[in-house]
Structure 1
Amino acid sequence: MSNNNIFETNFINVYSKEPFLSKSKAEMMIKNSKDTLKEMMGEDQKPNNKTGLLVGKVQSGKTANFLALISTSFDNGYDIALVFAGKENKLYNQNCDRISELFSKQDILKRDLKPLVKVIKNDKENDDVLKWINNGTKIVIIAMKENVSFDRIQTLLKKNENLVNKKFLIIDDEGDQGTLNANAFYENKNATKWNSEISHIRELIRNYSFITVTATPYANLFIDEKDIFLPKFIKRIIPDENYTGLDAFHSEESNNIIIIPEKDMILGKEHDVRFNQNLSIRKAVSTFLISAALKCIDLKINASEMLIHNSEKKIVHENIKSNIQNIIQLQMDYSKKRSDSIEFKKGYMNFINLGFEKVLNRKANISNKLDKELIKLVTESLPGIEISIINQNYKKNSQIHDDPLTIYIGAAMIERGVTFKNLTTVYMSREAKQANVDTLLQRGRWFGYRRQTIEYIKIFLSDKLKSRFEILRQLEEEMWDELGRLENGEYGSIEEWIKNIHFRLGDRKLQMNLTRKGVSPKMSKGYLKSWFSQTKVKLRSNEFEKNMLQKLKKEAIPLKFGNIKHGLKEFNNISEFELYMGESFESFLDKVNIDKSLWNAYAKNAINTNVNLILMRPDLDEKAYRTVFEENQEINLFAAGSAEYSFSTMDIESKNFYFGDRKIDLYQINANKITILVYSLEIKFVNKNSNLIASWKNEVCYAVHFPKTNHIYAYKKT
């Protein structure tokens, strides 16, 4: 590989100046790209024509990472980067801007008066591609996923025989969308058009690496083993500490979520004249204005954005826009009245207080200096609010505005890949009857590098959507843990890992699928294979469990895992463990949701497997607790640990750090053993307003990890 690193140096120089980045972080992206490059090339130092998968999180910086990979590839002999930059104009334009910005800097633009990189966005420049390459120029071809672009690229390749011998890096951004065969599930159906077109482009090129980039890789993992788009290697794009994702917005501690009452869910639908009565949307608009004003005062950030996503129907978008315009006009009229008038007090101040109560948990006090300033800012901002519909009817004119306050209304076109950097409020009530994990997760436009502004962000969701996002948080946590173990070499080949991976999707009543049915003929609902944990709190722990807990507290040997002390009780085999649990054994199985017949089948195959029973944090005694929302009774047992930046360099036996309950199986003392965690907790039940309504003390909860040498059978890729 070449030592010439002009493109890597340029990337580091450019991205060192980006918000939330630094020189060290840009250098880390390049280091990760070099690791990926090793997977992309064969022993002959040529591209190996394999599919790789880069998995990030929603709005976590995937674009910057694939630009780092392009830079590294150019420094190591690749000639052309072909970027499939999404299937919607907004994502395509954002990618074009980012790519052009990186490769148009003055220090990389020319060498001996020849351009080092040529970025091509349309077919007018196609005829000069070979000439530029022969002059030593690298080429970046940016294409939208559409038939016209595919035809253009195929024509270019067929016209230039020498071109197909060049080294290509193909980047498929949001590669779980549009690229995969959506007819795979159905027999005797031809492959979908785009799948065929991209496959044909791969056939035309002799030396290439194909890299899929996505935050939702579920469809990519469950396609047929013979499909060329099945990944042969997977790398994670790990976000840094400024990233706020599912764990930040949808944890028990989050105060960002506001529930839309069930009675409001029917409002705002097609031809629904009652939309003006929708108190939730008025609350959301008021909350947006108060949050925006507070953010302006505290952080000196003038711009704020609101997303409204409650229907895919264009007529509903028009209705919503009209009604919000009416809401704003009415408040403008009220605000001009005398402060002692009924209209001002009952009209304007009531509207203002809707937002105050959601943002500041109190009503406004006009004698308070801060409140006075907030009301003044809201009043001044009302005439300048931009309301923009983003859908197919407005495709040509719709854009992301620079106005101080903008409200966007739409559906699919405000989802995947589009970044709203000043997002402050979201109102989402659109519920698919059967939700796909990948589609729903991509709607989370509130995820991203928002650590500075997260306390000002409010998300209005239906109760079902809130529960679904909580399941997504658990699913993502489990998947990332599994991917880390894969990178660390725990599972051997990627083929074996994909064949055995399981995913848990929560209760059936939430009606969730992993991905689109048509894409994968080999998918069934299931569970990640390693951990089974209690996810619900329904019944009080019985006397048998409490007696077992007291016995364990007396007999468990104190043992430090990193810098955290737990208690350990060891058993030579499963039978000894079952005998120790006695009549609490049935409760254990019920709480971790393992069928007894399934356990017995496992026990027969792992009869001599050692069992470690671990009493979690006995030093906390009465102080350990978990918060549970009354309506869904869901619980997240696992306590987090030290931040993980590189699974492969993590020193699990370090005495200074504890890497979290979920990684406790990695400690040497638990190697190749069934590891069962026992928690003694206070369960605090809260209502939708986070008010404490009940408390259960000394509750016994469980989680169990099965060693990879003897996994329990469950649903998997068929």
Structure 2
Amino acid sequence: MEKGKYYLSKLKEHNYQPEFQKCIEDACQYCINMTFSQSDNDLNDKEKHPIMLLGKIQSGKTRAYTGLMALAFDNQFDMVFILTKNSKALVQQTYKRMRREFNDFIRENEIDVFDIMKVLNGLTDYELNKKIVIVAKKEKSNLDRISDFISDYTIQQRKNCLIIDDEADTTGIGFNKVKGSDDEFDLRTIASKVNKIRGSLDGCVFVQVTATPYALYLQPDFDEENLAPIKPKRTISLPSGEGYVGGEYYFLDSKDDAHPARYIFEPVLEKENELVSDQKRKGKKSKIDDRRIFKEEEIITSRDKLVAFKRGLMNFVVGGCILRRNNPNSHYAFIVHTATQKTSHVKLENITHEFFKQIKSRDSRTSSIINEMLQAAFIDTQKSVEAYGYPMPGYKDVENAFYNAIDKDYISVTVVNSDKDMDAVLDEDNGELRLRSPFSIFVGGQVLDRGVTIPNLIGFYYGRNPKTMQQDTVMQHSRMFGYRNEDLLSVTRFYTTQRIYENMIRITEIDLALREDIESGKFTEGFYFIQKYVSHKKDENGEKVKDEIIPCSPDKIRISNILLLKPNSRLLPVGFTPIAKSYARKISSEIRRHLAEIIDEQERDAVDVSLDVLEPIIKLAYSALKQDEQALRFVSLERLLTTIRYLADNENKVHLIVRRNRKIAKYKGNGVTYQDAPDNGREELAIARKVAIDKPALMLLHQDGTAEGWNESEFWWPVLFSQKNTRRTVFAMPDAGGRLKVK
């Protein structure tokens, strides 16, 4: 591999740190192997499983794949298609960034960067011989234009390509039920068109880029010839640079009473959250529109209504005033993200305007209340500013700056609901949200998530509170993640309910555990375990309330065979036939020889065995088993080994229980259902349950083959039993069960 002798070395931002540079080189080497290797093993996987670049929210993923593009250009790749989130604004942001990054090459007529909707007809061979970058959003017309472009210029015969799917876990996957069918599904339109593009290009590598990979990891391994795999088998975890602030800081470090981040979280009462997040329904007003509940003209005088919301607005202006003492021209942002309906956003915009309007027109009736709120905001902010080691200005200085900001209209409030709104508020040069006043407040929903960078964000009022929280969605809402200076953090506040905050702690812990497992190499076979959280709390009436965190939208994984691995559960192959008798006997003898070295033949209790010693035995046991064609619950060798490695963790040891000469039939008493419980519940299973506390147990059960269904062939049946002290995780079995139809 050429390590960036030309394109990468001249890239605008080529000065990558060594760890970051290695990630780019590893990704490029994988792409080269997938495209140019002639080995049989590589050819089997060629153009199939994607590679994933896994970053964190707003941590520099675009910079990473830009470096990969440049290095790929240095290594015989000629074209890159970049698929962005379905947003006109983000397409323009990506397009402008690519032109900026490759500007020197564009001026030298070596590279061209196009928006697919603006590509001229009739490109010449001269133009096609350049390196080409094409940007498109994941939308029907854009993807159709890419297909036409490939067809018109027979790119598959000329170019080695990368397809970079930015925010790959959104839009690009999903399934709809086939009408008139109970168990068949079609790929959604966008996913189907992306699949078509992948299938039309030879010499193409599919690169997924995301910070929330859960839906992708839970995809099955499709067998259909006309459907390219979605699940990656290789993940490259991108490091975050110095100064990155993410979930660990906001939700884990902040739990330390000695850490300055302990002041960031500000609780919102459930009653208030219900008010601001309630949706208008048919024939019924939302709570915030019901004047029996709330009157916006009483926003100042109603001391018990929207308490945290008003505190947030006050803290925001006070914090900004403190920061502006050192930089009078600086601007700051505050986000309000609660309900999804536009009418609710407009209502909150009006309430915010009314709040500041009444402060500006303060009178004898409201001045004392406003001053109380200002004094509370000063004290609140002072605690965190001093905790970060910064000097706090005097109250009078802050008071003067606060009223100056109010009286001179330094505050703007903007609703952002659509692409059109985003076009108006995004900076044309860098694609970030444009702060048009010193104190910019944005009210919106989903449009303020993926790909949107909000500079100088120091306040976030978050009220999305479903009973079941989707982990990927909640994480992508966290626009306060990114590269932040401590002066900003010293006045930053996050307002939400205690329930949401605690769930964000759990989401952060789940995400962190997954990343640690990936980086430690536990998932080398392309199987991924994702923790799941379910709690049954009690409401004020003592009734159980389900509180659940799921990895992603069910529509994204609805054809996946999702299994739950929980404490003290079994995992074993079900539905198989042993190989021929003579070969099976040889394998069984070999297993006996290995076992004789680690456990006495008369031993009835469990013994601790290193996984390194045990893996060859498990592989031998599987070599005597052939999966039945109709068996849907057969756990493959790769799946069992990956699971046992995951459960064994760093200790790398397993409790081994061995039993010999069992005589259990292949089918249960009805003669149809496969036997799935070869272990004796009163004996070896009881032992496994007793010893499997901190590490798993493996039962190796020798069947002599004389029972009905085994054709006189003996074999060893492996049964994995998970330990008591492990978290619930979900994972996807390999195939889609033939349920997917591709249009």
TM-score above 0.5: yes
Deviations 1:415-458 (A, max 9, x none): 12211121110001121232211111111111111243323211
The alignment partner of 1:471 has SS state of helix
The alignment partner of 1:397 has SS state of helix
Q: Name the CA distance, whole Å, in 1 between partners of 2:18 and 2:401.
A: 40
Would the aligned equivalents of 1:287 and 1:356 in 2 still touch at CA under 8 Å?
yes
The alignment partner of 1:421 has SS state of coil
Residue 690 (structure 1) aligns with: none
The alignment partner of 2:185 has SS state of coil
> Does residue 493 in structure 1 map to residue 525 in structure 2?
yes
> Does residue 238 in structure 1 map to residue 239 in structure 2?
yes
> Does residue 394 in structure 1 map to residue 375 in structure 2?
no
Instruction: Give 1:303 shift.
Output: 1.6
Would the aligned equivalents of 1:2 and 1:77 in 2 still touch at CA under 8 Å?
no
Deviations 1:387-416 (A, max 9, x none): 111103735534322322211110010012
Residue 203 (structure 1) aligns with: 199
- One-letter amino acid of the structure 2 residue matched with residue 394 of structure 1: D
The alignment partner of 2:82 has SS state of strand
Residue 377 (structure 2) aligns with: 355
Q: 1:2 to 1:524 in 2, by over 3 A?
A: closer
Q: Name the CA distance, whole Å, in 2 between partners of 1:467 and 1:176.
A: 25
Q: Name the CA distance, whole Å, in 2 between partners of 1:97 and 1:42.
A: 31
After superposition, residues 61-210 of structure 1 pair within 5 angstroms as: 61-104=60-103, 106=104, 108-111=105-108, 115-127=109-121, 129-134=123-128, 136-162=129-155, 164-183=157-176, 187-210=183-206
Q: Name the CA distance, whole Å, in 2 between partners of 1:716 and 1:123.
A: 39
Instruction: Give 1:42 shift.
Output: 4.2
Q: Name the CA distance, whole Å, in 2 between partners of 1:53 and 1:235.
A: 6
Deviations 1:566-612 (A, max 9, x none): xxxxxxx99xxxxxxxxxxxxxxxxxxxxxxxxxxxxx99921169x
The alignment partner of 1:100 has SS state of helix
- One-letter amino acid of the structure 2 residue matched with residue 704 of structure 1: D
> Does residue 421 in structure 1 map to residue 422 in structure 2?
no
Instruction: Give 1:183 shift.
Output: 2.6
Aligned mate of 2:354, from 326, 346, 350: 326
Would the aligned equivalents of 1:39 and 1:233 in 2 still touch at CA under 8 Å?
no
After superposition, residues 286-685 of structure 1 pair within 5 angstroms as: 286-297=314-325, 302-334=330-362, 343-344=366-367, 346-361=368-383, 370-382=394-406, 383-392=409-418, 394=421, 396-399=423-426, 400-403=433-436, 404-452=438-486, 453-486=488-521, 490-494=522-526, 497-498=527-528, 501-508=529-536, 509-520=546-557, 521-522=559-560, 524=562, 526=564, 607-609=606-608, 666=650, 670-672=651-653
Q: 1:78 to 1:517 in 2, by over 3 A?
A: same
Q: RMSD of aligned C-alpha atoms?
A: 3.6
Q: Name the CA distance, whole Å, in 1 between partners of 2:425 and 2:90.
A: 13
> Does residue 257 in structure 1 map to residue 251 in structure 2?
no
Deviations 1:58-101 (A, max 9, x none): 11111111111111111111111100011123433332232222
Instruction: Give 1:196 shift.
Output: 1.1
Instruction: Give 1:371 shift.
Output: 2.2
Q: 1:712 to 1:165 in 2, by over 3 A?
A: farther
Q: Name the CA distance, whole Å, in 1 between partners of 2:164 and 2:53.
A: 10
User: Tell me, which stretches of 5 or more residues in structure 2 are unaligned?
Assistant: 223-227, 279-285, 300-304, 387-391, 427-432, 537-545, 570-597, 611-645, 656-691, 699-717, 723-727, 734-743
Q: Name the CA distance, whole Å, in 1 between partners of 2:212 and 2:131.
A: 31
Instruction: Give 1:117 shift.
Output: 1.2
Deviations 1:603-645 (A, max 9, x none): x99921169xxxxxxxxxxxxxxxxxxxxxxxxxxxxxxxxxx
- One-letter amino acid of the structure 2 residue matched with residue 387 of structure 1: V
Instruction: Give 1:28 shift.
Output: 4.8
- One-letter amino acid of the structure 1 residue matched with residue 556 of structure 2: V
Instruction: Give 1:159 shift.
Output: 1.3
Q: Name the CA distance, whole Å, in 2 between partners of 1:386 and 1:54.
A: 37
Q: 1:162 to 1:139 in 2, by over 3 A?
A: closer
Would the aligned equivalents of 2:23 and 2:236 in 1 still touch at CA under 8 Å?
no
The alignment partner of 1:511 has SS state of strand
Q: Name the CA distance, whole Å, in 1 between partners of 2:514 and 2:649.
A: 16
Q: 1:49 to 1:610 in 2, by over 3 A?
A: closer
Q: Name the CA distance, whole Å, in 2 between partners of 1:606 and 1:37.
A: 49
Q: Name the CA distance, whole Å, in 1 between partners of 2:605 and 2:441.
A: 58
Deviations 1:181-210 (A, max 9, x none): 333797233221101111111122112010
Q: Name the CA distance, whole Å, in 2 between partners of 1:167 and 1:296.
A: 51
- One-letter amino acid of the structure 1 residue matched with residue 560 of structure 2: K
Q: TM-score, with normalisation over the residues of structure 1?
A: 0.68
Would the aligned equivalents of 2:4 and 2:70 in 1 still touch at CA under 8 Å?
no
Would the aligned equivalents of 1:29 and 1:68 in 2 still touch at CA under 8 Å?
no
Would the aligned equivalents of 1:286 and 1:355 in 2 still touch at CA under 8 Å?
yes
Tell me whether 31-40 or 373-382 shows the greater mean CA deviation.
Answer: 31-40
Q: 1:36 to 1:528 in 2, by over 3 A?
A: farther
Tell me whether 427-436 or 290-299 shows the greater mean CA deviation.
Answer: 290-299
Q: Between Structure 1 and Structure 2, how many residues are aligned?
A: 542
Q: Name the CA distance, whole Å, in 1 between partners of 2:377 and 2:693.
A: 41
The alignment partner of 1:352 has SS state of helix
The alignment partner of 2:424 has SS state of coil
Q: 1:375 to 1:183 in 2, by over 3 A?
A: same
The alignment partner of 2:454 has SS state of coil
After superposition, residues 263-278 of structure 1 pair within 5 angstroms as: 263-268=271-276, 269=278, 270=286, 271-273=289-291, 274=294, 276=299, 277-278=305-306
Q: 1:211 to 1:289 in 2, by over 3 A?
A: same
Q: Name the CA distance, whole Å, in 2 between partners of 1:363 and 1:426.
A: 18
Q: Name the CA distance, whole Å, in 2 between partners of 1:60 and 1:196.
A: 30
- One-letter amino acid of the structure 1 residue matched with residue 525 of structure 2: S
Residue 249 (structure 2) aligns with: 248
Q: Name the CA distance, whole Å, in 1 between partners of 2:24 and 2:101.
A: 14
Would the aligned equivalents of 2:647 and 2:695 in 1 still touch at CA under 8 Å?
no
Higher relative contact order (CA 8 A, sep 6+): 2
Would the aligned equivalents of 2:8 and 2:14 in 1 still touch at CA under 8 Å?
no
Q: 1:605 to 1:298 in 2, by over 3 A?
A: farther
Instruction: Give 1:283 shift.
Output: 0.7
Instruction: Give 1:673 shift.
Output: 5.5
Instruction: Give 1:377 shift.
Output: 2.4
The alignment partner of 1:704 has SS state of coil
Instruction: Give 1:372 shift.
Output: 2.3
Q: 1:158 to 1:357 in 2, by over 3 A?
A: same
- One-letter amino acid of the structure 2 residue matched with residue 208 of structure 1: C
Would the aligned equivalents of 1:165 and 1:207 in 2 still touch at CA under 8 Å?
no
The alignment partner of 1:267 has SS state of helix
Aligned mate of 1:216, from 212, 216, 232: 212
Would the aligned equivalents of 1:130 and 1:160 in 2 still touch at CA under 8 Å?
no
The alignment partner of 2:165 has SS state of strand
Q: 1:716 to 1:90 in 2, by over 3 A?
A: same
The alignment partner of 2:57 has SS state of coil
Would the aligned equivalents of 1:40 and 1:52 in 2 still touch at CA under 8 Å?
no
Residue 694 (structure 2) aligns with: 704
Instruction: Give 1:237 shift.
Output: 1.1
Q: Name the CA distance, whole Å, in 1 between partners of 2:383 and 2:339.
A: 30
Q: Name the CA distance, whole Å, in 2 between partners of 1:38 and 1:371.
A: 62
Q: Name the CA distance, whole Å, in 2 between partners of 1:605 and 1:217.
A: 43
The alignment partner of 2:653 has SS state of coil
